[in-house]
A and B are shown apart, each in its own frame.
Chain A
Amino acid sequence: MNRTRFLLVSVCLLAAGCGTVNTTTTRDRPGDDSIKTQTRVRDLSTYLNLRASEVRLFPTEGGVLEAQVDVANDDRFPRGFSYRFAWLNERGNVIESPMSVWKATHVQAGGIITISSVAPDMSATDFRLEVRRAEK
């Protein structure tokens, strides 16, 4: 009996130690600016744990477009990753800009974070997002 109790307490402590995030939201449907995207997967281990739960594209107050991507971590452990947005014009050509840089971030276990990017100028109509697993 004591052993069972000890095991239960240990399991609870371990579960708490993982720092899984519980999320509550009032939103039950995709955002009004939500868009459909396509994903090319080259790193299955990242894909299985991290997913883009919603992608939104909308004009900002300044007139240029802003992209917001909700990244959900379905794993039991926090995940670090780096990402880079590149913006494309109407013809699909990449708009070269010092704004397109690699950034690093973390998402808690069971959590969602929003990564975003603002287009470098008015000619941007689409974007491309590259995601890479963190080293550790």
Chain B
Amino acid sequence: MHRIVSAFLFAGLVACGQKAAYQETGGPDSIVSVGEVDIQEIKGAASGMLESLLREGVLSTAPNKPARVVVERVTNDTSSRFEVDELTYRMREHLVNSGQATVVTAYGGTPESREAQEIQYRKAVLEGRTEVESLKPDFILNGRITQLKRSAGNVRQTTYTYRLTLTNAATGNEAWTKTVDFTKQGTKDAVGF
């Protein structure tokens, strides 16, 4: 008897379980985790940064058209593990594809930058040059992602702050900076926002 009841309960649980289904990436049915960075925040941060860049028209002040940008390091100072490149690649996708900027990969420490530097170096050696010829950038992009965690009783709150800075490569001055915050509060992770 006990076994039958258990089997029914198990079958009931299986029937109630949610079937795996495709969701719109970063859509309103995405999972919201209180203590982790979610995809909708990365997408939202990239969107917020791009909006600010285009609103201020910083890239159009560059001597080169389209503006030459080096994507430097964006540091993840949170306890959440994720690729910060997810943020910068989304920004690059829009800026490069729309012709508003070109990313100079012969500088910086990203994998494709190292690849580009290697190609430049090989070319210089083959041509008997001692100096590596590369495009001078107009701007250098770098940033940091930080977190602030607080709790009251069993309610947890986390604020993730995305900060990006664009430095004028010729003057060394800060040409643009932007902060985008996301605050999440709750006792447990949830589906949908």
Contacts and interface: CB of A to CB of B under 8 A. Distances in A.
B100 A118 contact: no
B27 A102 contact: yes
Nearest to B50: A99
B187 interface: no
B47 A98 contact: yes
Contacts of A107: none
A45 B192 CA distance: 19
Given A104-B193, A132-B28, A98 B51 contact: no
Contacts, number: 75
A101 B47 contact: yes
Interface residues of A, number: 24
B193 A98 contact: no
A29 to B, nearest CB: 25
Interface string A98-135: 11111110000000000011111100000000001011
B108 interface: no
A74 interface: no
Interface of A: 60-64, 66, 82, 97-104, 116-121, 132, 134-135
The 9 A-B residue pairs whose C-beta atoms are closest, nearest first, are: A62-B57, A118-B51, A135-B192, A60-B55, A101-B43, A82-B28, A99-B47, A104-B193, A98-B90
14 contacts: A61-B57, A62-B60, A98-B43, A98-B50, A99-B51, A102-B28, A104-B28, A118-B50, A118-B55, A120-B94, A120-B98, A121-B98, A135-B191, A135-B193
